[in-house]
Structure 1
Amino acid sequence: MFRVRLVEAPMPTGSRDPDVLLAWLLDSMGLVRRKSDGFSVDDDQGALHRMLSQTFMAEPLKGWDAKSISDISGLSQTGVHHQLVKLRESGLVSTQTDDRWHVYVLRGGSMSASMELISAQAKVILNQRLGTLSSYISESEERMVVPCEEEEYGFRIEVAEPRALVEAEDSLDALVRELGLNGERAKQGDELSRKLLEELSGSGNAVSLLALSEKFGESRSRVQRSIERMRAAGIVERVPMLERLAQDIYAGLMRQSDARGEDWLMTRGGLGRLDESVSKSLIAGVRKKSLDSDRVQEILKPVDIDAQRILLNTLGGRMPYGIRIAGKDAGAVREGVMRKAERTLRRMRTVAQRLDDALDDNES
């Protein structure tokens, strides 16, 4: 059954080295684990890289069997079988039976043709699988009122055909598992990622990591790891929780006033950078102990969000962030994920074509 991992990585710009280009493709399909920057062929990549370059890249349509691959690559037949399973699942190679032997070819006869087939298949399957979310994500315009300030986050998702359900598993459990949201070493029966996705899907507002951790009785670090996998897949996103900004500024003002006084607030505390009427109102409220978070929010209305964020930082706080589903409804989420998947697949098609061209140049 088809199964491929899409991993967004910087393109090997300008490189015409077939080894570098092949290493990049293997890494972008999640077939190897790259431990260092760049796309040199390290020990972990060596076995699969060597097998491909010496067999399928050299003679794509020869019809390779496990024994001949083992003889040329130096891998044991068990090792060859393990690598062939990954290549078949990812769609790079196909198999046929020839006189009781399984023989393998590079799909389409070239890396670029194989990548075109993989790309088409991956997009159809991913689009179908994401349709499951429509039963769980509640529509909410309110959820998307605050603009996302998402930093560049490397896209990473698994694309797999539906497999047989595990006992007591439903369609959402299967989707979470097959998109790779449980992680590579998930334990049987671990439902944290599913619970988090279901909670966020039904929420009309961003939810903090602390709130999620407390709700499900899990450590903050474990919740964060699960959320990071969902962010990498483009299903959820991080967003500033503006409704908490005034509350945190109020807490910072009162704390620093007690510890350092009004002069510090006006200088190093950042109030002196604000409009005079705003700073005077805040100082007066601090002095009279008449401030609360609602009053701070009212005073800061003329101050833009970036300036409020800076003020919070100078008061010793940090901008509060929460996690939300990355769209007003399931359709918007699916569109965003598909856009990122197409960007990654387009890069893979480009590099595959460059690899074929480089191999042709080496032969001429």
Structure 2
Amino acid sequence: MFSLRLVERPMPTGSTDPDVLLDWLLDSMGLVRRRADQLGGDEQTGALHRIMREALLADPLRGWDSKELGDQTGLSNTGVHHHMTRLRECGLVSTQVEGKWHRHILRGGSMASATALVSAQASAVLGLRMSELSRMVEPSETRMAAEAEAEEMPFSIRVAEAGPREEGVDQASALAKDLGLAGDGKKGGGSLSRDLLVELCSSHQPVTLLALSERLSESRGRVNTVVDRMRSAGILERAPMIDRIPQDVFAGISRQFDARGEEWLMTRGGLGRLDESVAEALVKGVKSGSLDIDAVRGILEPVPTGDQRVLLNTLGGRMPFGVRLAGSDGEAVSSRVRGHADRVLRRIRTVAQRLDEAE
């Protein structure tokens, strides 16, 4: 069944070296596992690279059987079988059975043709899986009230068509696994990724990692690992928790007034940068002991959010961030994920064309 991991990597700009281009393609299609800084290093002579370079790219439509591939590359029959299975799953290679032999070809007879077919299939499968996710999402405008953090994680997602469902595995669990949210290993992670997906699909506000770990009775480290996968897949994003600003400003003003006094609050504490009536109301409240979170919320209501964040920083606080779905409804989330995937697939097709021209 079709299964492909898309991994966003910097384009090999300007390179015409077939080994570098092939290495980038295999990496971007999740067929090799390595750190980004290893791209183009010694691993380019690895088994999968040799199969592609010495056989399938050299004679794409020959119809290579396992013995011929082993003789050509020096790999064992087991190694050849393992790598050809992965190439078939991602759609680069097709196989025809002739008696006891399986003959493999590079689809379309070139890397450009093969990746064009892979791209079309990946887009179709991802569209179907995103439709499943869309139906899980509760629409919410309040979820997107605050602007998201500008920094994005490198895109990475698994695109796998739905297969036979194991006993006791519901649709959400299967979807989380097929999108790679549970990780690529065989150990655990499935239940947590499913629970996080369900929790965040129903959340109307950003949620902190601490809150998620408490709700799901999981360690913060494990929650963070799965959340990072969801952010890489474009499903989640970090966003400031604007509703927490009054609480943290109240704590900061109270603490700094007791420690440093009114003059510090008006100067280095940042109150002097606010409108005079706002600053006076805050100082009057903290001096009289009548200031509380609700009072701070009311006083800061006319103050732009950006200025509230600056005030929190000058008081020694930090803007609290949470995670949320990257859209107000399922269609918005789906569109974002598919947009990221389309960008990676376009790059793959471009580099594949360059590889064919360099051969």
Normalised by the size of structure 2, how large is the TM-score? Answer: 0.94
Q: Which residue of 1 aligns with 2:184?
A: 184
Q: What amino acid is aligned across from residue 62 of structure 2 in structure 1?
A: K
Q: Which residue of 1 aligns with 2:323?
A: 323
Q: Which residue of 2 aligns with 1:136?
A: 136
The DSSP-based 3-state class of the residue aligned with 2:37 is: coil
User: Partners of 2:137 and 2:198 in 1: how far apart?
Assistant: 8
The DSSP-based 3-state class of the residue aligned with 2:97 is: strand
User: Partners of 2:162 and 2:84 in 1: how far apart?
Assistant: 21
- Larger deviation: 321-330 or 222-231? 321-330
Are 2:183 and 2:189, in contact at CA under 8 Å, matched by a contact in 1? no
Q: Which residue of 1 aligns with 2:28?
A: 28
Deviations, residues 53-89 of structure 1 (Å, cap 9, x unaligned): 1111111111111112112212222111111111111
User: Partners of 1:30 and 1:260 in 2: how far apart?
Assistant: 56
Q: Which residue of 2 aligns with 1:15?
A: 15
Q: Which residue of 2 aligns with 1:347?
A: 347
Are 1:150 and 1:237, in contact at CA under 8 Å, matched by a contact in 2? no
Q: Which residue of 1 aligns with 2:60?
A: 60
Are 2:20 and 2:44, in contact at CA under 8 Å, matched by a contact in 1? no
Deviations, residues 6-32 of structure 1 (Å, cap 9, x unaligned): 111111111111111111111111111
The DSSP-based 3-state class of the residue aligned with 2:139 is: coil
Q: Which residue of 2 aligns with 1:175?
A: 175
Q: Which residue of 2 aligns with 1:160?
A: 160
Q: In the superposition, relative to structure 1, how do residues 44 and 19 fare at CA in structure 2: closer, same or farther (>3 Å)? A: closer
Are 2:136 and 2:201, in contact at CA under 8 Å, matched by a contact in 1? yes
User: Partners of 2:220 and 2:293 in 1: how far apart?
Assistant: 26
Q: How far did residue 197 of structure 1 move?
A: 0.9
Q: How far did residue 190 of structure 1 move?
A: 4.2
Q: In the superposition, relative to structure 1, how do residues 42 and 189 fare at CA in structure 2: closer, same or farther (>3 Å)? A: closer
Residue correspondence of structure 1 range 191-202 to structure 2 within 5 A: 191-202=191-202
Q: Which residue of 2 aligns with 1:337?
A: 337
Q: Which residue of 2 aligns with 1:4?
A: 4
Q: In the superposition, relative to structure 1, how do residues 190 and 162 fare at CA in structure 2: closer, same or farther (>3 Å)? A: closer
Aligned residues: 359
Identity %: 57
Q: Which residue of 2 aligns with 1:297?
A: 297
Q: How far did residue 269 of structure 1 move?
A: 2.2
Deviations, residues 205-235 of structure 1 (Å, cap 9, x unaligned): 2222221111111111211111111111111
Q: Which residue of 1 aligns with 2:275?
A: 275
Q: In the superposition, relative to structure 1, how do residues 244 and 182 fare at CA in structure 2: closer, same or farther (>3 Å)? A: same
Q: What amino acid is aligned across from residue 32 of structure 2 in structure 1?
A: V
Q: In the superposition, relative to structure 1, how do residues 202 and 116 fare at CA in structure 2: closer, same or farther (>3 Å)? A: same
Instruction: Say if 2:260 is the partner of 1:260.
Output: yes
Are 1:23 and 1:49, in contact at CA under 8 Å, matched by a contact in 2? yes
Are 1:12 and 1:21, in contact at CA under 8 Å, matched by a contact in 2? yes
Q: In the superposition, relative to structure 1, how do residues 269 and 128 fare at CA in structure 2: closer, same or farther (>3 Å)? A: same
User: Partners of 2:45 and 2:205 in 1: how far apart?
Assistant: 43
Instruction: Say if 2:142 is the partner of 1:146.
Output: no
Q: In the superposition, relative to structure 1, how do residues 227 and 14 fare at CA in structure 2: closer, same or farther (>3 Å)? A: same
Q: How far did residue 273 of structure 1 move?
A: 3.0
Are 1:182 and 1:193, in contact at CA under 8 Å, matched by a contact in 2? yes
Q: In the superposition, relative to structure 1, how do residues 135 and 45 fare at CA in structure 2: closer, same or farther (>3 Å)? A: farther
Deviations, residues 227-285 of structure 1 (Å, cap 9, x unaligned): 11111111122211111111111111111222233333233322233333333332222
Q: In the superposition, relative to structure 1, how do residues 213 and 126 fare at CA in structure 2: closer, same or farther (>3 Å)? A: same
Q: In the superposition, relative to structure 1, how do residues 230 and 189 fare at CA in structure 2: closer, same or farther (>3 Å)? A: closer
User: Partners of 2:202 and 2:226 in 1: how far apart?
Assistant: 17
Q: Which residue of 2 aligns with 1:84?
A: 84
Deviations, residues 309-347 of structure 1 (Å, cap 9, x unaligned): 122122222111122222222222211111111111111
Are 2:138 and 2:329, in contact at CA under 8 Å, matched by a contact in 1? yes
Q: What amino acid is aligned across from residue 308 of structure 1 in structure 2?
A: Q
Q: Which residue of 2 aligns with 1:73?
A: 73
Q: In the superposition, relative to structure 1, how do residues 207 and 178 fare at CA in structure 2: closer, same or farther (>3 Å)? A: same
Are 2:19 and 2:44, in contact at CA under 8 Å, matched by a contact in 1? no
The DSSP-based 3-state class of the residue aligned with 2:21 is: helix
Are 2:134 and 2:333, in contact at CA under 8 Å, matched by a contact in 1? no
User: Partners of 2:298 and 2:188 in 1: how far apart?
Assistant: 50
The DSSP-based 3-state class of the residue aligned with 2:46 is: helix
User: Partners of 1:192 and 1:321 in 2: how far apart?
Assistant: 21
Q: What amino acid is aligned across from residue 200 of structure 2 in structure 1?
A: L
Runs of at least 5 residues in structure 1 that lack an aligned partner in the other structure: 360-364
Are 1:23 and 1:41, in contact at CA under 8 Å, matched by a contact in 2? no
Are 2:182 and 2:188, in contact at CA under 8 Å, matched by a contact in 1? no
Q: In the superposition, relative to structure 1, how do residues 333 and 39 fare at CA in structure 2: closer, same or farther (>3 Å)? A: same
Instruction: Say if 2:212 is the partner of 1:204.
Output: no
User: Partners of 1:252 and 1:37 in 2: how far apart?
Assistant: 42
Q: What amino acid is aligned across from residue 203 of structure 2 in structure 1?
A: S
User: Partners of 2:180 and 2:333 in 1: how far apart?
Assistant: 17
Measured on the aligned residues, the alpha-carbon RMSD in Å equals: 1.8
Runs of at least 5 residues in structure 2 that lack an aligned partner in the other structure: none
The DSSP-based 3-state class of the residue aligned with 1:6 is: strand
Q: Which residue of 2 aligns with 1:356?
A: 356
Q: Which residue of 1 aligns with 2:102?
A: 102
